Structure 1
Amino acid sequence: VAEIAEKAAKEVTYHLQRSSEWVIRLGDGTEESQRRMQTAVDALWSYTGELFEMDEMDRSARERGLGPDWSALRERWMQYVARTFAEATLEIPQGTWMQRGGRHGVHSERLGYILAEMQFLQRAYPGAKW
C-alpha cells in the first residue's frame, strides 16, 4: 500500500503542476482565453465546496486513522488556488451558492448524461476485458 501511495503522490504532484501551468497560460493568455477560463471558473466554482465535506464514512475512516480530514485541507487548497488564479488573472467567484449533497446521492439531471457516456463501452461490449 505504501508503494501505491508513493506513486500516487508523484502522479498527483505532476498533474497539479501541469494543470496549474495550463490555468495560468490560458487565464493570462489572450483576451478570448481569459474570458473563456473565467466563464468556466464561474460555472464550476459552486461545486468546489463539496470537495471538503465529510460524510459518516469519511468521519469513521478518519477516526481510525485511515483518511484525511477533508475540511482541514480547504484552507491550504484555497491558498494554492488564490495564488494560481492571481498569476492567471482570474477572479475567485465571491458569494456563490455551493452545491451540496453529492455524497448523499443528491445530483443534478446532468449526472445521467455523464454516466451514460461513461458506461457506453461497457454496455456496447459486455464482458470485454480491459
Structure 2
Amino acid sequence: MVDWLVDSLTDQPVAFMLEMGPSGYRSHDEDEVVCAQIQVLEDGVLMLRRSRTVLDQLTLSDHSVDGLPLDRWFFDDHFADCTDGYLFTRDVRLVADACVAWFRDEWGTRSTDDLGCDYRFPDELPRH
C-alpha cells in the first residue's frame, strides 16, 4: 500500500487533494471513522491530516509554505476537525508510511481494497 500511495502523490499539482477512509463508509453513520487527507502545497510540501471524524475539505487562502515547520507532528486545535494531528513535510514516503500505519493500526486495513479514496484536482481558470 505504501508504494501505491507514493505513486498516487508523486508529481501532483499544487492544491491536489487525496482523501482516504474506509471503503463503504456512509456519511450518516455515527460511528467513529478513521480518515486521512493529504493536500499538496508549494515547493513539494505535503500536508497530512488524520482524524477519527470525516475531515472538511479545506479552502486554503494560499498554498505557500513560508513559515511552516516541516517534519513535526502537531496535535493543537488549528483544524477543528483534525482529531489526530497534522504534519507538513516534503517526504512523500513518510506521508505514505504514516497513512498506512494509521489505517492498519486503527482500522485493521490490510489492502487498498479496504480503502475508499477521493482524488481532487485543482480547477483552473480560463486564460484568454
Q: TM-score, normalised by structure 1?
A: 0.28
Bigger Rg, structure 1 or 2: 1
Which structure would you say has the larger RCO, counting Cα contacts within 8 Å and 6 or more residues apart? 2
Q: TM-score, normalised by structure 2?
A: 0.28
**Which protein has the bigger helix share?**
1
